[in-house]
Structure 1
């Protein structure tokens, strides 16, 4: 008879994600993971596979959690403008508890160009994010909050790129005041109507 797992899978997956997030894929060894996750090496392999498979699962885990968080923020906003402002706030100020930037951006810059599986996951996450941003912009266009000079899809892509840039900035010494200023300027651009 097999032994029951002595750990909660989601909790240890979150720990693996945090360690990869802090250190990056290349700098994280299996020994680091075993120690940080608090499980035996055999349990890690039996449950998650090798380091690469665990990393891919960590990307999925992060992707689902950030997507749910953004959807919750958007659903709680009364207007599209408030929704976008809240997303900027999360990206700028939500990094204080974890000042490691964005796990997806980190994965993209570290591995996507040389790891096809990581690249495919990152592309899928970016596509979902762009769609979410596009839908939010469309809501603002339909309510008259935002300009219709560009399509919601195009503005969603630009918004997504702006948010990615901010996530990179949060890993530098750039002041939060500058990032807030960028967010405010972007929202003003959305409101400029065609003459």
Structure 2
């Protein structure tokens, strides 16, 4: 008969998430996990399987948190574009909380894709969830006359998803928050049509 667990699984997954987030998958050794989680190797294997299984559980937990943040932050109240802009800024700020490590999801994609198909599947699902949420918000913006007629809600959502993901990489070399804000300014000027005159003048 197996002994009951003496630890909280969610707490352990949060610790594992932070370890993988800060160091990356390959650089995180089992000895790091033993020390960081406060569990013996046998307990880790018994509860979560091997290192890769534990990593997938930690990444899934992170992505679920991001999806919940989107779901709770986007609503039908107030100007749609302003609300969406605020949410994107919050997402970027949230990923600054882990010692400047950036976005756990983007880091994982950069490190493990295209070879790790399980990570690829998780990433695709997460990106699609974000794109769908942004599309719904931009459909509301279009209905309220906020969205430029030159951009469809789906196109705008694809632009924003790609921008936010790309910014997580770029700001490792350009960490000044003003740079990310400037990129968001440019994207939303395209979405609301205020960038059109300046572009036409070139």
Q: TM over 0.5, yes or no?
A: yes
Q: What's 2:121 paired with?
A: 120
Q: Is the 8 A contact 2:96 2:102 kept in 1?
A: no
Deviation at 1:76, TM superposition (A): 8.3
Partner of 2:87: 87
Alignment RMSD, CA only?
Answer: 1.9
TM-score in terms of structure 2 length: 0.89
Q: Could you report, residue by residue, the CA deviation over 1:58-105 in whole angstroms, capped at 9, with x for unpaired residues? A: 111011001111222223862211222212322343333221111110
- Ranges in structure 1 where 5+ consecutive residues have no aligned partner: none
Q: Which range is displaced more, 101-110 or 72-81?
A: 72-81
Moved >3 Å (runs of 4+): none
2:183 corresponds in structure 1 to: 182
The alpha-carbon deviation at position 174 of structure 1 amounts to 3.2
CA distance in 2, matches of 1:110, 1:90: 24
Matched residue SS, 1:67: helix
Q: Return 5+ residue gaps in structure 2 as ranges.
A: 198-202
In structure 2, C-alpha distance between the alignment counterparts of 1:147 and 1:114, rounded to whole Å: 39
Q: 1: CA distance between counterparts of 2:95 and 2:25?
A: 20
Cα 1:26–1:76 shift into 2, 3 Å: farther
Offset at 1:24?
Answer: 0.5
- 3-state secondary structure, aligned to 2:173: coil
- Cα displacement (A) at 1:144: 1.1
Q: Aligned ranges for residues 147-158 of structure 1 at < 5 Å?
A: 147-158=148-159
User: 1: distance between equivalents of 2:151 and 2:187?
Assistant: 14
State the partner residue of 2:200: none
What is the correspondence of 1:40-59 to structure 2 with a 5 Å cutoff?
40-59=40-59
Rounded Cα–Cα distance in structure 1 between residues aligned with 2:70 and 2:77: 11
TM-superposed CA distance for 1:155, in Å, is: 1.1
Per the alignment, residue 63 of structure 1 pairs with 63
Q: Does the CA-based 8 Å contact 1:112-1:118 persist in structure 2?
A: yes
* TM-score normalised over the length of structure 1: 0.92
User: How has the CA–CA distance of structure 1 residues 188 and 73 changed in structure 2, closer, same or farther, with 3 Å as cutoff?
Assistant: same
1:113 positional shift: 1.0
Find the aligned partners of 1:190 and 1:97 in 2 and give their Cα distance.
29
Matches within 5 A, 1:101-116: 101-116=102-117
